[in-house]
Chains A and B, each alone.
Chain A
Amino acid sequence: MNEWAKGPDGRRRAVRVRGPRGGEVSFLLDGRALLVCGVLVALTLATAAVSLSTGEFRIPLPEVVRTLTGGGTSADHFVIDTLRLPRLLTAVLVGAALGAGGAVFQSLSRNPLGSPDVVGFDTGAATGALLVILVAHGSRAEIAAGAAVGGVGTALAVYLLAMRRGVQGARLVLIGIAIAAMLGSVNSYLLSRADVSDAQTAYLWLIGSLNSSDWPGVTAIGVTLAVLLPAAVRLGRGLNALEMGDDLACALGVRPERVRFAAVVAGVGLTAVATSCAGPIAFIALSAPQIARRLTGVPGPNVLPAALTGALLLSACDWIAQQGFTGTQLPVGVLTSVVGGGYLAWLLAREWRGGRG
């Protein structure tokens, strides 16, 4: 039996769901948040339809559907199955992972500019990838592995260094910034000593691109999301409480240490696999949670709306990067900064004008 209770603002409902074995789960449902999620999903689906059907090789939408369901010509299959679908799915999944990871970190660091880089993640991932590209001359899979190892290793090191009878948010951020700065110099050194073609490969990786999306990458990011996204969504409540400070969170029955550790693991895991698939795509992790928060109007990390915003943002940006400029294709990282940043600036400006910022 499920129970519903209307919240004081008339918008939110507390829902209690009784599980099959007598356990109970209760959560808050927000009408506007639900609507926003629905619209984001619909827009992402629309973007997907447009992405799959447009390009140099035109495939009308009915043909796309026929190809996806097994029909279609062999050329259609090559274009959809080998070129467009893996790229689209990578964009959607990587965008979702970056959005969710960003939401977790912004909440964790209690800073709207927070990103996985507060624990040195991006810089560490870049160091790992650069070492594989420039020193070991590794393959694409090895670069991805190098990025994941570098990012996770750095995040772990920062976490352990910040540990002293528990990890404080501020200490974590400070040590993260220090380690990131050190690794940043290592990265600059590696690039300055590199052969030009290697350096070009490295820069392309550093901008972030979906050009070499493939099915193994889709599987990796898909499995990661399936495991970590629900975990991150569940952590949302604890993170929300943590935003009010450890003492208050404790009083509300949240164990700050455990939540914080689990959040770092989930956030780093999501970002690590996303980064190893597509490179450190700029700005999604920063802008998606902020945009989502403003769209839903709900406090807290908004992990799911942030993931959906990230998915829409990255897939739309990638389509523009591919089709918007005749004769050339931009790396998607160039576009995400412009589109995501522009939209965020507009949102903020609107808030300030409305006196709410």
Chain B
Amino acid sequence: MSATLLSRPDAASLRTDAEFRRITAELTRRGFLGGLATSAALVGLAGCGTSTGHGGAPASGGPWSFTDDRGTRVDLPARPKRVAFLTDSVTAALWAAGVRPVAAFDSGQGIVPAVGLNLAADKSVIQIGNKDNELDTEALVSARPDLLIDAIQADGTLQTLSGNPKIKDLAPVVGIDMYQPVEHIVGQADRLTTALGATPADAAAHRAYQAAQAKLRAAVAANPGLRVGFVFDLGPNGIGVMNPATWAVLKTVKALGMKLVPVAGGKDNTYSQAVSWENVTGIPADLMVWAVSDPLPTEPVWKRVPAVAAGQLWKPDIRSWYAYSWANFATLLEGLAEHVASAKPGVGPKGSVA
């Protein structure tokens, strides 16, 4: 049955989120791509603006409350001590920030190990994802959590809770919106870390992040015509152009003035627009950023993409897409600033994505 499902070779039918998720998941299985399969996995890099912390919790003792990105307020008689991370992206944000959970979800895409948590070896943290990439509810119960932390998806729903509504009876849920600019996500992770009584692990890197941000803003201002495309591998069918209106990193760099390859609107393109190999050379980008997948494509046509042929291509270390930390995003923004500064505008074709 699934064979019928999976054999849809025509590029026209490729342009759906579901297809995108399936393909990324499939690629992951093949070991190419670390982690797009869960919709929130990519999220982002650095940005601008101010972090919007409003009200953490008292240092210790007494009742605890936290208002999350949905505006939902969680009230508990005491500060939670047993926290469970329900998605890869939540783990990537909060482990990096210094929160130590009793249970964490690892879908096996390499995101969780990339931030330094090895669930196979670390027996103090219970793995609550099973082989099918589904939540193992009973394993979660056995961790006796008193707070669940889930990712908020692009459509505003909770990623794990929406498929497992029963677990809301287990413990209150805090959501982190993974489709906000990067500094919002890291800021929220820090705020939650403080509220949970831990010290944000890389608060010191915040300054480096702000410096990287300033550097990228200046580089973009000095090279105003440069068009940048963030793309990733979709296997034999083509590549995906990430939607600037969805992804955290793209929201951040756009706010810094970067001109991004636009993606046609519509439900099918919420996360990305699929471009088949025959149309890849028409992507209107002067600088290509190879995002969240590894390695670079081997298709000969890739070399004929104007930006690639001109050497205006950057593939950051795959791990730098995963950890939601100031340090990580500072590195990513710095790299972007360097490549923006050295790239020539007008290299790529005119027009829009086919």
By a beta-carbon cutoff of 8 Å, the part of chain A in contact with chain B is 55-57, 75, 78-79, 82-83, 191-192, 195-200, 203, 214, 327-329
Q: Which of B13-21, B207-215, B246-254 contacts A (4 or more CB under 8 A)?
A: B13-21
Is B18 a contact partner of A196 (Cβ separation < 8 A)?
yes
Which chain B residues (1-23) contact chain A, with CB distance < 8 Å?
1-2, 4-5, 8, 16-19, 21-22
Of A79, A192, A195, A200, the contact of B138 (CB 8 Å cutoff)? A79
A75/B137 contact (C-beta < 8 A), A83-B166, A196-B18 known? no
Closest to A188 in B: B4
Within the complex, the shortest CB–CB distance from A324 to chain B, in Å, comes to: 14
Cα of A200 to Cα of B4 in the assembled complex, Å: 11
Q: Which residues in A have their C-beta under 8 angstroms from that of B2?
A: 203
Query: Closest 4 interchain pairs by CB?
Result: A197-B18, A56-B138, A327-B131, A57-B138
B138 touches A83 (CB 8 A): yes
Residue of A nearest to B144 (CB): A75
Chain A residues within an 8 Å CB radius of B8:
196
Q: Using a Cβ–Cβ cut-off of 8 Å, how many residues does chain B contribute to the interface with A?
A: 25
Cβ of A231 to closest chain B Cβ, rounded Å: 34
User: Which residue of chain B lies nearest to A328 when distances are taken between CB atoms in the complex?
Assistant: B131
Instruction: Chain A residues near B130: list those with CB within 8 A.
Output: 327-329
In the complex, whether B136 has a CB less than 8 A from a CB of chain A is yes
Which residues of B pack against A, CB within 8 Å? Answer: 1-2, 4-5, 8, 16-19, 21-22, 130-132, 134, 136-139, 141-142, 144, 166, 169-170
> Which one of B5, B17, B136, B137 contacts A199 once the chains associate, using CB atoms below 8 Å?
B5
B170: A residues at CB distance < 8 A: 78
Q: Please state if B139 and A56 are interface contacts (CB–CB under 8 Å).
A: yes
In the complex, chain A residues whose CB is within 8 Å of the CB of B4: 191-192
Q: Which residues of A contact B139 (CB under 8 A)?
A: 56-57
Q: Shortest CB–CB separation between residue B235 and chain A, in angstroms?
A: 14
| Residue in chain A with minimal CB distance to B130 | A327
User: Bound complex: CA of A83 vs CA of B22, how far in Å?
Assistant: 28
12 additional A-B pairs beyond A55-B138, A57-B142, beta carbons within 8 Å, are A57-B139, A57-B141, A75-B141, A79-B138, A82-B169, A83-B138, A196-B19, A197-B16, A197-B22, A203-B5, A327-B131, A329-B134
Most buried by B among A57, A82, A196: A196
Alpha-carbon gap, A254 to B244, bound state (A): 73
Distance to closest chain B CB from A199 (angstroms)? 6
Dominant SS among interface residues on chain A: helix
Q: What are 27 residue pairs bridging A and B, where the CB atoms are less than 8 Å apart in the complex?
A: A55-B138, A56-B136, A56-B138, A56-B141, A56-B142, A57-B138, A57-B139, A57-B141, A75-B142, A78-B169, A78-B170, A83-B137, A83-B138, A83-B141, A83-B166, A191-B4, A196-B19, A196-B22, A197-B17, A197-B22, A199-B5, A200-B5, A200-B18, A327-B130, A327-B131, A328-B131, A329-B130
In the complex, which residues of chain B have a beta carbon less than 8 angstroms from the beta carbon of A191?
4
Question: CB-nearest residue of chain A relative to B268?
Answer: A195
Query: Once bound together, how far apart are the Cα atoms of A56 and B103, in whole Å?
Result: 14
Given contacts A78-B141, A79-B138, A203-B2, contact A329 B19 (CB under 8 A): no
Knowing A79-B141, A82-B166, A82-B169, the reply to whether A328 touches B5 (Cβ < 8 A) is no
A55 contact set on B, CB distance < 8 A: 138
CB of A296 to closest CB in B, whole Å: 36
B127: nearest chain-A partner, CB-CB:
A327
Tell me the nearest residue of chain A to B16, going by C-beta. A195
Query: Please, how many angstroms separate the alpha-carbon atoms of A184 and B137 in the complex?
Result: 36
In the complex the two chains form, what is the Cα distance from A75 to B138 in whole Å?
A: 10
User: In chain B, what residue has the closest Cβ to A201?
Assistant: B18
What CA separation (Å) do A196 and B16 show in the bound complex?
Answer: 8
Distance in angstroms between the alpha carbons of A200 and B22 in the assembled complex: 10
B132 touches A329 (CB 8 A): yes
Bound Cα distance from A125 to B271, whole angstroms: 34
Residues of A within 8 A of B166 (CB): 82-83, 214
A203 to B3, CA, bound (A): 12
The chain A residue sitting closest to B132, CB to CB, is A328
User: In the bound complex, how far is the Cα of B17 from the Cα of A327, in angstroms?
Assistant: 27
B21 proximity list for chain A (CB < 8 A):
197
